[in-house]
Amino acid sequence: MIKSLYIHSMRGAKRIAGRLGILQALERSDSRGARWTRSLFSIYDSRDLALLDLPWWTFDAIREVEQLLASFDNQARVFEYGAGASTLWLSKRCAEVISVEHDIGFADSMAPLFSSCPNVNVLTVPDVPATGATTEARSRRRGYEDRAFDAYVDAISSQEGMFDLIVIDGRARTACLARAAQRLSPRGLILFDNSERKEYRAAIDSSPFVERRLRGLAPALPLPSQTSLLEQRS
């Protein structure tokens, strides 16, 4: 209720800020503060975040990932769980982005943007009713308790080779992490978003990776968030 009121208010505020030239003034600035303030008007508007060239991770994580991709001369291969503005941001900085999305309606709404990027391949793999089998990958998100995401998690298995960046920002994240661990290149990184959530802690702590927690402001979010970067132990 409070969340939907906030979203509604920000959309109203965006119209007013546009008329007053505030959005345009913010868009002319490169400062993090201006970019974050502008992004607050784009809450749950992935098309707008894409136009602002902002993935939905913390700003510190965005900076680190940008540096990593530059170190690969922008030739990295990326696999992403959970498509969105990040998919388009990555496409400008990588050789290839394969993204898996469970929500067909959301993927369709973003399709004109995705199809304008020749190096992007979005696989739509919807969740299915859970049957209670022990191998099922599940999401704890409200409304998804009775759904299974095995095919979604397994989407990486149908792809050849290793990935230099694997983004875990969609559904069934702990199952995605277990699968991603086998497909990371030696110098690669796993980006695990919203790693402050309790339900992810045990899986991250027991993974074979070294974790760096990047806590702070993130685009479109009024409160700080946390994105973790996981790398291979040396």
Ligand X SMILES: C[S@@+](CC[C@H](N)C(=O)[O-])C[C@H]1O[C@@H](n2cnc3c(N)ncnc32)[C@H](O)[C@@H]1O
Q: Any contact of residue 120 with ligand X (CB under 6 A)?
A: no
Binding-site string for ligand X from residue 149 to residue 178, where x marks contact by CB under 6 A and - marks none = --------------------xx--------
Question: Chain-centre distance of CA 110, in angstroms?
Answer: 14
- Residues 181 and 210: beta-carbon distance below 8 Å: no
Q: Any contact of residue 85 with ligand X (CB under 6 A)?
A: yes
The amino acid sitting at 200 is Y
For ligand X, give the closer residue by CB, 8 or 20. Answer: 8
Classify 30 in phi/psi space as left (phi over 0), alpha (psi -120 to 50) or beta. Answer: alpha
- Residues 146 and 130: beta-carbon distance below 8 Å: yes
The least distance separating ligand X from the CB of residue 233, rounded to whole angstroms, comes to 26
For ligand X, give the closer residue by CB, 39 or 208. Answer: 39
Q: Which of 17, 83, 148, 229 binds ligand X (CB under 6 A)?
A: 83
Q: Which of 208, 183, 195 has the alpha carbon at shortest distance from 60?
A: 195
Q: Which of 15, 19, 22, 81 has the alpha carbon at shortest distance from 45?
A: 15
Q: Which of 96, 101, 150, 164 binds ligand X (CB under 6 A)?
A: 101
Tell me the helix, strand and coil percentages in the chain, rounded to 5.
40, 20, 35
Packing angle of the helix pair 198-205, 173-180 (nearest 10 deg): 20
The least distance separating ligand X from the CB of residue 4, rounded to whole angstroms, comes to 12
The least distance separating ligand X from the CB of residue 223, rounded to whole angstroms, comes to 15
For ligand X, give the closer residue by CB, 86 or 91. Answer: 86
For ligand X, give the closer residue by CB, 51 or 106. Answer: 106
Burial of residue 107 (CB within 10 Å: 0-12, 13-18, 19+) is buried
- Of 46-65, binders to ligand X (CB under 6 A) are 46, 55-56
Q: Which of 22, 51, 95, 103 binds ligand X (CB under 6 A)?
A: 103
> Judged by CB under 6 A, which stretch of 42-50, 70-78, 117-125, 136-144 contacts ligand X?
42-50
Residues in Cβ contact with 202 at an 8 Å cutoff, skipping those fewer than 6 apart: 174
The least distance separating ligand X from the CB of residue 112, rounded to whole angstroms, comes to 15
Binding-site ranges for ligand X (CB under 6 A): 44-46, 55-56, 82-86, 101, 103, 106, 169-170
